[in-house]
Amino acid sequence: MTLQEKLGKTVRSLRLLNGLSQEQMSFYAKIDTHYLSNIETGKRNISLNIIEKLADYFGMKVSEFMDLVEQYKEE
C-alpha cells in the first residue's frame, strides 16, 4: 500500500471514528467534499497545507497525524 493510500485510509478511519459523513467533515475542515473523497480513496497526492488542515481538524500535530498514517495497517 502506498503512503498516499495509507493517508486516505487513515483519514477515513478517523472520520468514521468521529461519526461524521464526508459532507460534515468537509464542511467543518473546509475541504471540498469531492476532494476529500479523492483523498480517502488514495487518488490525490495532497499538499502539506491539506495535511496540516487534516491534522488540525483531528486535533493533532502534523507529526502525530503522519505517525498514524505510517502505522496504518490494512484490516
Which CATH number belongs to the domain containing residue 16 in this structure?
1.10.260.40
Residues 4-25, mean pLDDT to the nearest whole number? 95
pLDDT at 74: 65
Interacting residues of 38 by C-beta distance below 8 A, sequence separation 6+: 44
Whether 27 is covered by a domain: the verdict is yes
pLDDT at 8: 96
In this prediction, residue 20 has a pLDDT band, given cuts at 50, 70 and 90, of: very high
Whether 75 is covered by a domain: the verdict is no
Distance, CA of 1 to chain centre: 16
Asked if 6 contacts 67 with a C-beta cutoff of 8 angstroms, the reply is no
The count of structural domains within the chain is 1
Assigned C-alpha cell, 26: 468537509
pLDDT digit string (tens) for 38-62? 999 999 899 999 999 999 999 999 9
Whether 74 is covered by a domain: the verdict is no
Assigned C-alpha cell, 36: 476529500
Number of H helices, E strands in the chain: 5, 0
Domain around 8: 3-69
pLDDT at 38: 96
Q: Please give the Cα distance from 49 to 75 (Å, whole number).
A: 28
